[in-house]
Each structure stands twice: as structure tokens, then as C-alpha cells.
Amino acid sequence: MSGHFPIAAITDEFSPGLETALTAMTEIGMTGAELRTVSGKNIVDLTDEELDRTIAMVRDAGLEIVSIASPLLKCELPDAPEIDARFQQDRFSAPYRFEDQPRLTARSLEIARRTGARILRVFSYWRTVRPEACFDRVVAALRRLAEEAARHGVIVGLENEHACNIATGAETARLLDALDHPALQVVWDPANALVSGEEPYPGGYEKLPAHRIGHVHAKDCRVEGHRPVWGPLGEGAIDWQGQIAALMRDGYRGWVSLETHWPGPDGNKLEGSRICGRNLARLVGR
């Protein structure tokens, strides 16, 4: 049965081994792959030979590379307020600094070109205790990225990330209002908004201009303090049925991509991602 949305996943959420991940993803019915780490290396650190091998494996499995989940702007902003220690910083083999960003930008855009990925995921620097004090500098950095991406025919997808300065739907909407660039869209992550203290749907989502949502990440949790407790997709605190219905209503035509995070039953992450992937397929009507 044809689904309402095509579904994908960040491959390393299934397994650091790409072949294992791709096999599980195709069994679920996924047709897209999002690349973040491969065999323990961040995507930006793969050699050209490793990248070519990765591309071939994904294509041989019959999947499209839909997004490069880069670590761009997932670093500390110099001369900014202190980092907000309440939020866990997930680095995914990407311990990069502010000074590394020009090199990472060039490599990320090259990888997007070679893979054919339309979306290049980026962030907004590690969240400080006063994110509003960083706002203008975040806007300036994203404007530079959007302008460069546009020259390469790529869309910059800003992910609302609870450990970064743009975390909620409300903060994302303010950023989009300040930077109306055709090469800047949103990677909407309801779970990250929840961890940030916002009701993601309908509250945060309805603040966003729907036409600027370019990609959606799917995971689920409940929150204890500011710490997420990850679980099976569709069984946590997020109204995923309502969120999917709203995306349909508002004309969203992009991918919904699994980012499991749940360690899985008895610590079996592969099985956890299989469970979440099947739940996602049901949610989108596959």
C-alpha cells in the first residue's frame, strides 16, 4: 500500500555497520537513507574512497540518500554566554570546534554533491544560558551557509536541537522570520522541542511556517527534568498521530526520517530501531 510520506532513517541508528542497517531498513519498507556516521566515523571524516563505497552500498540496496546529517554549527560559539549544562550534548564522533567550521562546510557541501542529497542538516551552536544573546550571530552564520548552499543547489536544513540555541518551534519561527532565504528550511524534530520544554504538537509546530519545513525527524520520549527517556516511537509523550495528520493537512511533501535514540529492548538498538521503524510505517499509512 502506498504511504502518505516516504520514510527514511539515519543509518547508524540501526547499526554502525552500513550493510546491517540497510538490510533492516529495506525490510521495513524504507526508501531513503540519511547519513551521519558510518563504521564509527562521522560522514564528514570519510575519505573519498570510503564515501564512494558508502554511496554504492546505499544505491545497491535501492535507497536514495536524502540528507547529510552533518555536525555543522554543533560547537561552542566563542565569546558567548556560558553553556547551558542542563542539556546533554550528543556529538556522534564529531568533536569539532568553531575554527573547524569553514573546512567542515566545504566538505559537507562536497559530500552532498557527490551523494545527491538535497538536504544538508545544520545546527545553531551549543545552547547557552542566554540563547537570545546569540541570536544575531546564529542568523549571520546561517545566512552565510544558506548563500553558499544555494550556489551548490543544496538546502540547508536547520534542526531544532534541544542542546543548541534554536531548540523549540517558537525559537525556530523567530529565526525563520529573521532569515527569509530560499535555501534555508527546517528539519523539524518534535522530540527535541519536547525536551526543551515546549509542547511540540500542536504548540510548537503551529508556530512554524509549514512551507519552510524541509525534513522531519521522528523519535519519541518522555522527559524527566531536562533529560529525555527515549522509548518506542508512538508510545511516548508526543502526539505523533496528530503531528503526521497536520503535516498531511499542511501539504508537506518531504521525508519522515527515523532517529530512534531509544537503546531498544534489553539494550538491543537494532531491534529497537526495527520496532520504531515499523511503528513509523504504520503512522504514515504504509
| Per-residue pLDDT tens digits for 194-221 | 999 999 999 999 999 999 999 999 999 9
High-pLDDT (> 90) share of the chain, %: 93
Residue 82 DSSP code: P
Task: Tell me how many degrees the CA angle 267-270-273 measures, rounded to the nearest 5.
Answer: 100
| Cα→Cα distances 229→103, 113, 202, 221, 233, Å | 35, 36, 21, 5, 12
Write down the pLDDT at residue 286. 61
| Cα→Cα distances 19→4, 57, 59, 104, Å | 27, 7, 12, 26
Backbone angles phi, psi at 258, to 5 degrees: -70, 130
What pTM was estimated for this model as a whole? 0.96
pLDDT digits (tens, 9 = 90+) for 133-153: 999 999 999 999 999 999 999
pLDDT at residue 2 tops 50: no
Residue 204 DSSP code: I
For the residues 235-263, what does the mean pLDDT come to?
A: 97
- Of the candidates 56, 180, 35, the one whose C-alpha atom is nearest the C-alpha of residue 108 is 35
Would you tell me the crossing angle of helices 101-115 and 48-60 to the nearest 10 degrees? 40
For the residues 251-271, what does the mean pLDDT come to?
A: 97
Cell 520520549 sits on residue: 221
Residue-range domains of the chain with CATH:
7-283 (3.20.20.150)
pLDDT digits (tens, 9 = 90+) for 105-116: 999 999 999 999
Residue 83 DSSP code: B
For the residues 159-167, what does the mean pLDDT come to?
A: 97
Write down the pLDDT at residue 57. 98
